[in-house]
């Protein structure tokens, strides 16, 4: 694993020890699968204007009503990250696979065989007819569609039962087998449910996976909602057949969790076809591993963002578009901040990432989490908080500071004989000293808040001393005060002490005692 440690651009999270816990069978493969989607035969889309018109004529042969185009079914071929993000900014909800094909095997991603490996694949979406297609982005209109926006059970002013028309269109297109049996007037349902998780080290009670996007579709009919703090979601659109559900780990607070080894800035956990009334799941460490770790990292992010803006004080929030990558085969983590413009020598990144390198050209990570030995909620949570703490520091000091830190970590690792963080005597070691003191301190602080009585203390065996921050915090100089001292001019421990003394002269005795106790 030494060659991986070279990629400790900023910091490595503390080593995570594997836990010896009972492993129960994962969720069924047909429900959660992380390979590539396998498409079957092309299906007739019941929502196309042509097919809805035929269904309308079948049910209302004497009605002089035409079926309007409410949406275009389209596909885009973004050439780079900028084009992809522009489409996102325009509100386009994209899938990497066509929605008018049967699916032989579920998965988290799809790559068109006609698109070279290493390029962004076709992205499929539904847009309104007046959508302003951006110049320079290749696109193709695949079909004109009619998707009723009003509740299906509501008749239109002209007396047409559009739910019945929709069901008839399913029948005429050979998709009647997808429809649920009609029961009186209660034919369609609006999805509602909970996405929850269990932390065995805190409580046996399930709690919410907060702020994730629950998306579903039947052919070109898309809908989504975000979970609240309790993991509850409610989708407004109604369906009369089983939608395909997926959890998209693009949190409503702004951070995205990747990657799927595809060009997509947030991981997707596919849940397959479920009831139109909703899909609820409870995740634990014996569940699908990828889903479990994504949920834990998501909740760590949610907690950290709440800590940054709380009644107790304010810390700088991470960048608004923070991107986190998770790696099962790596044991080290970093807050590399590449997407924010912290750029390093390409050969180092390429040597480190191997087969992942091509992704860097398009969707750059800010945080990489090496979860090889992180098997439970606490270890994944701790590693996540450490790196998130770095992002607040980064927001206060900027790219020049971060580049200095990156250069130090790489050079010291090599010159010290592959010792993480070096030995503390190398040039510019103070950048690492301050950054890691802060990150390990915040890791300890938030871990203890989540697990009272744990007595956890991270990073205390290194040559820098996060205990200094812990000592001051326990005596009233909390993170919301000490964070103010993490400015661009503070790049060693002594500069940090002097800055704190200038900011908080009334705490002079406490500050000096904390620093003199650990040196």
pLDDT digits (tens, 9 = 90+) for 438-464: 999 999 999 999 999 999 999 999 999
More confident residue, 328 or 190: 190
Give the range among 34-38, 50-54, 472-476 with minimum mean pLDDT.
Answer: 34-38
With 60 as the cut, is the pLDDT of residue 153 above it? no
Residue 348's CB is within 10 A of a number of other CB atoms, namely 14
291, 363 contact by CB (below 8 A)? no
* Tokens matching residue 285: 């460490």
**CA nearest 313: which of 499, 476, 496, 131?**
476
219, 100 contact by CB (below 8 A)? yes
Q: Give the whole-angstrom CA distance, residue 44 versus residue 170.
A: 9
pLDDT number for residue 20: 29
pLDDT number for residue 481: 98
With 50 as the cut, is the pLDDT of residue 103 above it? yes
With 50 as the cut, is the pLDDT of residue 519 above it? yes
pLDDT number for residue 188: 82
Q: Give the whole-angstrom CA distance, residue 352 versus residue 67.
A: 55
Mean pLDDT of the chain: 87
Mean pLDDT value across residues 321-346: 81
**CA nearest 305: which of 291, 293, 319, 292?**
319
pLDDT number for residue 267: 85
Question: How buried is residue 181: exposed, middle or buried, by Cβ count under 10 Å (0-12/13-18/19+)?
Answer: exposed
pLDDT number for residue 151: 59
Confidence of residue 2 (pLDDT cuts 50, 70, 90): very low
pLDDT number for residue 356: 53
pLDDT number for residue 360: 54
Give the range among 17-21, 39-43, 205-209, 306-310 with minimum mean pLDDT.
Answer: 17-21
Mean pLDDT value across residues 129-144: 98
pLDDT number for residue 363: 61
* Tokens matching residue 294: 């994504």
Confidence of residue 266 (pLDDT cuts 50, 70, 90): confident
With 70 as the cut, is the pLDDT of residue 213 above it? yes
Confidence of residue 342 (pLDDT cuts 50, 70, 90): confident
With 90 as the cut, is the pLDDT of residue 166 above it? yes
pLDDT number for residue 419: 85
pLDDT number for residue 349: 54
More confident residue, 22 or 369: 369
pLDDT number for residue 4: 33
pTM for the full predicted model: 0.87
Dihedral sign for Cα atoms in the order 154, 158, 164, 165? negative
**Buried/exposed 470-491: b ≥16 CB within 10 Å, e otherwise:** bbbbeeebebebbbbbbeeebb
pLDDT number for residue 414: 81
Mean pLDDT value across residues 99-110: 92
Mean pLDDT value across residues 237-251: 95
* H or E stretch covering 297: helix 289-308
Mean pLDDT value across residues 33-45: 89
Q: Give the whole-angstrom CA distance, residue 352 versus residue 370.
A: 13
pLDDT number for residue 329: 84
Mean pLDDT value across residues 161-176: 95
pLDDT number for residue 480: 98
pLDDT single digits (tens) 371-392:
999 999 999 999 999 999 999 9
Give the range among 107-121, 137-151, 300-314, 405-419 with minimum mean pLDDT.
Answer: 405-419
Bridge partners of 77, per DSSP, are: 138
More confident residue, 26 or 62: 62
pLDDT number for residue 21: 28
pLDDT single digits (tens) 484-516:
999 999 999 999 999 999 999 999 999 999 999
């Amino acid at each position: 694993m030494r060659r991986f440690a070279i990629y400790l651009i900023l910091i490595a999270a503390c080593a995570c020890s594997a836990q010896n816990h009972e492993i129960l069978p994962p969720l069924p493969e047909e429900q959660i699968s992380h390979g590539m989607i396998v498409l079957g035969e092309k299906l007739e889309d019941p929502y196309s204007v042509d097919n809805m018109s035929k269904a309308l004529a079948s049910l209302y042969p004497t009605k002089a009503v035409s079926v309007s185009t409410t949406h275009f079914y389209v596909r885009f071929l973004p050439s780079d990250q900028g084009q992809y993000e522009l489409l996102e900014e325009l509100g386009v909800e994209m899938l990497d696979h066509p929605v008018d094909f049967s699916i032989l095997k579920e998965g988290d991603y799809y790559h068109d065989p006609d698109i070279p490996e290493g390029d962004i694949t076709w992205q499929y979406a539904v847009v309104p007819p007046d959508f302003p297609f951006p110049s320079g982005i290749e696109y193709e209109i695949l079909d004109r569609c009619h998707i009723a926006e009003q509740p299906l059970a509501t008749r239109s002013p002209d007396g047409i039962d559009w739910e019945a028309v929709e069901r008839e269109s399913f029948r005429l297109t050979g998709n009647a087998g997808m429809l649920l049996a009609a029961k009186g007037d209660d034919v369609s349902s609006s999805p509602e449910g909970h996405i929850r998780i269990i932390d065995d080290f805190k409580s046996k009670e399930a709690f919410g996976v907060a702020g994730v996007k629950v998306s579903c579709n039947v052919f070109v009919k898309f809908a989504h909602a975000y979970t609240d703090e309790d993991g509850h979601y409610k989708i407004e659109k109604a369906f009369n057949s089983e939608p395909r559900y997926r959890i998209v780990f693009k949190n409503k607070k702004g951070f995205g969790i990747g990657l799927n080894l595809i060009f997509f800035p947030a991981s997707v956990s596919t849940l397959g076809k479920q009831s139109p009334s909703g899909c609820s799941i409870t995740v634990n460490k014996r569940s699908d591993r990828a889903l479990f770790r994504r949920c834990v990292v998501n909740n760590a992010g949610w907690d950290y963002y709440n800590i940054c803006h709380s009644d107790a004080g304010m810390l700088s929030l991470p960048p608004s578009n923070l991107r986190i990558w998770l790696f099962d085969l790596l044991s080290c983590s970093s807050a590399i901040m590449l997407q924010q413009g912290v750029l390093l020598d390409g050969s180092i990144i390429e040597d480190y990432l191997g087969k992942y390198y091509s992704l860097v050209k398009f969707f750059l990570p800010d945080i990489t989490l090496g979860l090889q030995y992180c098997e439970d909620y606490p270890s994944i949570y701790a590693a996540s908080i450490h790196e998130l703490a770095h992002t607040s520091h980064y927001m206060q000091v900027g790219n020049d500071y971060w580049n200095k830190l990156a250069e130090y970590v790489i050079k010291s690792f090599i010159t010290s004989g592959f010792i993480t963080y070096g030995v503390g005597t190398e040039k510019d070691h103070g950048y690492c000293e301050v950054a890691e003191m802060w990150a390990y301190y915040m890791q300890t602080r938030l871990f203890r808040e989540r697990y009272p009585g744990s007595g956890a203390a991270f990073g205390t065996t290194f040559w820098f001393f996060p205990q200094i921050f812990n000592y001051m915090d326990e005596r009233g100089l909390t993170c919301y005060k000490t964070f103010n001292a993490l400015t661009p001019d503070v790049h060693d421990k002594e500069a940090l002490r002097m800055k704190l003394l200038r900011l908080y002269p009334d705490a002079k005795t406490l500050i000096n005692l904390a620093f003199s106790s650990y040196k």
